[in-house]
Amino acid sequence: MNHVNDKENQNNEVEEMDTQEVETVETPNDAGGGDGGGENRQINGEAQEQNISQDAEMEEDEARSEATFRYTVQNFSKLKESQLSPSCYVRNLPWKIMVMPRTSQTADRQTQRSLGFFLQCNGESESSSWSCYATAELRLLSSKEDTEPFSRKIQHLFYSKENDWGFSHFMSWQEVLESDKQYVKDDSITLEVHVVADAPHGVSWDSKKHTGYVGLKNQGATCYMNSLLQTLYFTNQLRKAVYKMPTESDDSSKSVALALQRVFHELQFSDKPVGTKKLTKSFGWETLDSFMQHDVQEFLRVLLDKLESKMKGTCVEGTVPKLFEGKMVSFIKCKNIDYTSTRVETFYDIQLNIKGKKNIDESFHDYITTEMLDGDNKYDAGEHGLQDAEKGVIFASFPPVLHLHLMRFQYDPITDCSVKFNDRFEFYEKISLETYLQNPEPTRADYTLHAVLVHSGDNHGGHYVVFINPKGDGKWCKFDDDVVSRCTKQEAIDHNYGGHDDDMNMTVKHCTNAYMLVYIRDSEIKNVLQEVTEEDIPQELVERLQEEKRMEQIRRKERNEAHLYMSVQVLLEDSFDGHQGNDLYDPDRALYRIFRVRKQTTLQELLEMLADSLKYPIEQIRPWPFSYRSNQTCRPTLIDIEADLHKTVIDVAENQNPWNVFVEVVPPDSGLQALPSFDKDSDVLLFFKLYDPKTKRIHYCGHHYMPVAAKVQELIPLLNERAGFPPDTELVLYEEIKPNMVERIENYNEPLEKVLEELMDGDIIVFQKDERDVMYDLPTCRDYFKDLFHHVEVTFCDKMIPNDPGFTIDLSQRMTYDQMARAVAQRVGTDPYLLQFFKCQNYKDSPGHPLRCTFEGTLKELLVYCKPKTPKKIFYQQLNIRINELENKKQFKCLWVGPKLKEEKELILYPNKNGTVADLLEEARKQVELSENGSGKLRIFEVNCNKIICGPKEDALLETLNSTGTKSHVLSHGQGNIECGFLVNKESLFNNMTEKLSTSCLGRGSEIEEIPRDELNLAEDEMLVPVAHFYKDIFSTFGIPFVLKVKSGEPFSKVKERLMKKLGIQEKEFEKFKFALVVMGRAQFITDESDYHINLMDFRCNPNQVSASPKPWLGLEHINKAPKRSRFNYLEKAIKIYN
């Protein structure tokens, strides 16, 4: 039994239970008073029921959602054991009152007797898969008139291991007996329970029967998808259009449109929950994580866009915008002049801010609230200059179906993650949006609530349900994945406001609230919710879906009966032609003829089946099953047909499934009416292969029955004939025993049973011409098979192409680096020295460290790092310089900045390892275009967080620059943003260069530029000052930093002129800039620019300053007009439906 800890009597210890406790919710004594004594209630020791209708038309039956029932305990003073009331059915489950005496110790170790009061659900069920969430009020009734019952509330998810919930110490025994409220009368007490339950999961709840609708199966990790699909399904006008999309020629596994038609059709006509796996598969996603990474708004937009594209050029073109498209006007209106800028935009949904907003009206008011553009943020009105203005939006039209997204999930920059706001936010069944329109529309913008999409939990997960008003008549249903149930208007609307509500306390969880609302315009309700009949569904679609279902039933039947069947995989002799390896065929590449037969089929029946299929009389075929020998070979073996003819196939196959069989047939041109007889005691089946050392190839030469006593010499004429050689050609014969073991047959005058090792059916003899004087790479078949033993298929993947499938080459494991490089270069079409190879990381399918071109090992040593039981893989990349030169160089990634601070590009430089910064600049000179009248000299700066720190001297060794970092970062390249790279060493060669970060630089990098002529030679009273952009906070730097020449004593106005010219911006824009001298992390703004003159001491480092700290710099404070996006969202990929 499960109990709620008694918080009311802190002095009385409650007996400990071995299940978790839930928190008590105390109820005022007047709670539930109206139920204390009503009509039609008998209190005679039996369970009594009072059905409380949740909807006027909802039946008071066993499927109801709530009920009140009682149980009277007779001879209360003699109660020793627990008692259970008779069952009261709610949601088709039996509920019982459980009452018992309990004892516990008080704080002073005194024994105290208590009344235990529990609610039990489905207690006698042996199933372990059911669950049912419920809230209940447990009451002890008084026999005294006008006296309120003593009550407590519970909420619990009832399931097999916790099928009862309540209080071990509901009330002390003494209080029950002595209370002046007269709980005991004639030595009996009456207990009452009012229970409200959700529809149960895991039991035979018939959604179709109780509601007329069915749910969607929970596929796992699909989050909001089921709720959204139900919402779209009940937008009947859209459903009708979806049915009419042309999908006759669509691929059934890849078409999103067809998959949606299938789901809608099953929702309309199925009696059971509908699956969505085919739909999500049609999206082209390998996993379902896209649902977790993206919000419902983005997914809905992409899905509707997909449908809109599919409907183009059809009879339902324009349905999506007709239903969901509204228009809003963005405007900027100047305050002091008659000038207004407007732009009309369309929308399919509206995002409403709920933080700090009480209800939907406040959110809409907030949406159209104007923003003042004044001060530093004045509006540029073109020829009118900068003006104070008012910026805002107003709605031009609202659509028939209005999707409102409540912004409960938002990015929190402090925690750098998404958080959920559970604040209370009220919305209503009826709303009017007239006041938010620019001009009145032909029909009033009055809307009725159609759907409420609800989330329970936090931003890391939770549960999604949707409440839908299918016909717009106020009769609501709750769609909880596969379970659909009737619910009250209060459950659908009021209970999903969120926040803490003392009136509802335990009825609703704080974290359960609406995140999306769907409203339908009153004037369009009849059209949007028009009935969809079978006549509205194209007959071709119905027939296709019916055929799909029929085929699925066949496949399901096959799966269910699969244990009764086995596969017989047949090979004919032509399957052995062209095989170049050991044995007769490659099991992984063979093209079998597959026969699916019942395991209880007899061998006789199988032979008849084969004869019929192969079009041969039964006497012209003979089966030779393949069996694996102890020496790792797979060869045909004999079946004793006479003895096994009436045995079952599974017995003959010795439980092998699939069973591989070589079926020998009479050669078509032999003229034979039947296969020659075979004596299992005196004959042996031999197979023959010819080896050609010139072409290094094996040629299959058929099979033959030979007496075991026949001499080897007797094979020579037969083999010459099979090979097409003259009859007297001298041959060398070998026995293929096992992989890498081929033995020459020396004595041709001995019988086969003595010469061949352990003579068995299926033995293979390899022969070749006796050419001792001719030189070949692999002169004998023994050499050939030895070389074959070391062969391996290696897949080479281009490291620079994500998920590159690569190409496969058959190579020898004994190959050297040079041999491998030549083979790959020939395939790629390049020079072997312009390739660099990378071993697999240990047991990972990704590139590891680069391989030196001086590697002295073999290919076999490179493959040990590959994941076992997977194709062997090596990564490569093509180079611009030879690999032997590259290994003597160091790679650096720097940013080239042009004279206008706008023409920048990334440079990848390869100076010698032991070179200097001057060598690095010389390499850069080869890749950049210098100014016509420039100095022709370059300089390098170190950049950290969009600020210039310092520049290494030209004679500095490159090896001293390693400390600048080893990982390359490339930032988004746009207005006001810098693209910045680290100096990297060879270990990080060719690292992924597309890692995206926020607009602020998170590391250190290098910047190379041409030195302006006037900065080549500085006078004693001149200095180069670092300049950087920032906004509000000096640590919020952005843009491309640079240096500026200043002269001691010059007025700051001249410095500003040079700054404006260097930045190349308009004077009116430059007027918004503020200037600050930043020293040791503090900004000193230059307030009176006319009086300030340059003092070089202001820009010199403080003697006490840490060497790593940046030297003083000039800050330009202004708005960063580059597009901004939070890191959280910036790292996300846009959601895509691929098909």
Enzyme catalytic residues? 223, 463
Tell me the residue ranges of DSSP E strands in 841-890. 847-850, 872-878
CB 1137 within 8 A of CB 306: yes
Structural element, H or E, at residue 320: helix 319-324
CB 19 within 8 A of CB 162: yes
The whole-angstrom separation of Cα 193 and Cα 135 is: 10
Task: Give the orientation angle of helix 236-243 with respect to helix 225-233, to 10 degrees.
Answer: 90
The whole-angstrom separation of Cα 1107 and Cα 1110 is: 8
Say which residues have a Cβ less than 8 Å from residue 215's Cβ, sequence separation at least 6: 207, 226, 230, 273, 274, 479, 480, 481, 482, 483, 484
**Residue 867 DSSP class:** P
CB 847 within 8 A of CB 875: yes
Residue type at 951 in one-letter notation: G
The whole-angstrom separation of Cα 354 and Cα 351 is: 9
How many CB atoms sit inside 10 A of residue 868's CB? 6
DSSP for 395-415 reads EEE--SEEEEEE--EEEETTT
CB 91 within 8 A of CB 64: yes
Number of residues that this document lists for the chain? 1139
1082-1085/131-140 β-pairing: unpaired
Structural element, H or E, at residue 1058: helix 1052-1063
Q: Which of 408, 426, 411, 413 is nearest to 353 (CA)?
A: 408
CB 192 within 8 A of CB 145: no
The whole-angstrom separation of Cα 982 and Cα 974 is: 19
CA 946 to centroid of chain Cα atoms:
35
Say which residues have a Cβ less than 8 Å from residue 803's Cβ, sequence separation at least 6: none
CA 293 to centroid of chain Cα atoms:
8
- Using CB atoms within 10 A of its CB, is residue 1126 exposed (0-12), middle (13-18) or buried (19+)? middle
Question: 658: cis peptide before it, omega within 30°?
Answer: yes
Please give the C-alpha separations between residue 268 and each of 215, 224, 405, 518, 816, in angstroms, as whole numbers: 10, 20, 27, 21, 66
Say which residues have a Cβ less than 8 Å from residue 476's Cβ, sequence separation at least 6: 467, 468, 469, 486, 487, 488, 489, 491, 492
How many CB atoms sit inside 10 A of residue 850's CB? 21
Among left, alpha and beta (phi > 0; psi -120 to 50; other), residue 495 is: alpha
The whole-angstrom separation of Cα 796 and Cα 794 is: 6
Q: Which of 758, 759, 760, 781 is nearest to 769 (CA)?
A: 781
